[in-house]
């Protein structure tokens, strides 16, 4: 494992690169964490995933988005478009690493990181795409949800989402993004994992993912867990199937 930092928009994006032992030009996967998270992700799942990928011959880069973890920036400045631009910069940075095969890059993301990954995959040649409970609803909110957020911002200047602020700049940026049309240029294989109790990726959005990716989609349903795959068996299965998918398709 080595530290790898990438410059983007006057900020340093900080992360760690897990490399297969003895590999000269390994395929690589960039791991995009969720809203308010960091490069370890819930239950250290990104650490475990990266270690298993490296053990199976695929490099994995865990990084903190700007304003998160150890990276530069202010979390209040978060927008989806900025995160997508950061993910693209990460792919470009990985492509130039001497131990990475720049022609074999993949993306993986959790929640808002999943939305980020699916949008970034449409902007660069990506071998494969793995999504854990992608948060398309962040840019495709229901009328009720959008009104609640607008009212909160009007009252306080921000929407309090899990103890972190969502500002008007996030809302304005989201209006210009179509989670599905803007992701359509990606034509490779997709793994999508979701729990049956997920409050973020509901059935209507899941159907849109199925329509978008068609027979390229490997859909994995996890019974009786929510957005964070909150049981030991669920998280073990999640890491296992994602490792197998990315090792096979990267």
Instruction: Yes or no: say if 91 and 105 are a contact pair by the CB < 8 Å rule.
Output: yes
Q: Is the pLDDT of residue 23 over 80?
A: no
pLDDT at residue 212 in the model: 97
CATH, domain range 2-139+176-249: 3.40.50.1820
pLDDT at residue 176 in the model: 95
Q: Is the pLDDT of residue 94 over 80?
A: yes
Confidence of residue 140 (pLDDT cuts 50, 70, 90): confident
Q: Is the pLDDT of residue 210 over 90?
A: yes
- At residue 75, the 3 state secondary structure works out as helix
pLDDT at residue 24 in the model: 80
Q: Give the whole-angstrom CA distance, residue 84 versus residue 78.
A: 11
Tell me: the pLDDT tens digits for 110-135?
A: 999 999 999 999 999 999 999 999 99
pLDDT at residue 1 in the model: 87
Task: Please compute the mean of the pLDDT values over residues 136-147 and round it to a whole number.
Answer: 88
Contacts of residue 210, defined as CB under 8 A and 6 or more positions apart, other chains included, come to 217, 219
Please report, in angstroms and rounded to a whole number, the separation of the first and last CA atoms in the chain: 19
Q: What's the number of CA atoms in the CB half-sphere (13 Å) around residue 13? A: 28
pTM of whole model > 0.85? yes
Instruction: Yes or no: say if 58 and 249 are a contact pair by the CB < 8 Å rule.
Output: no
SS3 string of 216-238? HEEEEEECCCCCCCCCHHHHHHH
């Amino acid at each position: 494992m080595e530290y790898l930092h990438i410059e983007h928009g006057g900020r340093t994006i900080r992360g760690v690169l897990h490399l297969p032992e003895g590999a000269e030009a390994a395929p690589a996967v960039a791991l995009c964490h969720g809203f308010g998270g960091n490069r370890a992700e819930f239950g250290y799942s990104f650490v475990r995933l990266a270690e298993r990928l490296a053990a199976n011959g695929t490099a994995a880069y865990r990084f903190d988005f700007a304003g998160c973890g150890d990276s530069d920036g202010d979390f209040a400045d978060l927008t989806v478009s900025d995160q997508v631009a950061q993910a693209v910069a990460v792919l470009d940075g990985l492509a130039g690493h001497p131990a990475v095969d720049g022609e074999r890059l993949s993306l993986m993301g959790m929640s808002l990181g999943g939305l980020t990954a699916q949008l970034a995959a449409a902007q660069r040649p990506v071998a494969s795409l793995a999504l854990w409970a992608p948060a398309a609803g962040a840019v495709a909110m229901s009328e009720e949800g959008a009104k609640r957020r607008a009212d909160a911002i009007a009252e306080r200047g921000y929407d309090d989402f899990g103890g972190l602020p969502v500002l008007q700049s996030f809302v304005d940026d989201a209006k210009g993004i179509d989670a599905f049309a803007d992701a359509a240029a990606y034509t490779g294989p997709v793994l999508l994992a979701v729990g049956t109790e997920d409050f973020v990726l509901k059935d209507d959005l899941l159907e849109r993912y199925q329509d978008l990716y068609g027979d390229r989609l490997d859909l994995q349903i996890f019974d009786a867990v929510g957005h964070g795959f909150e049981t030991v068996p669920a998280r073990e299965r999640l890491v296992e199937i994602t490792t197998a998918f990315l090792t096979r398709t990267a």
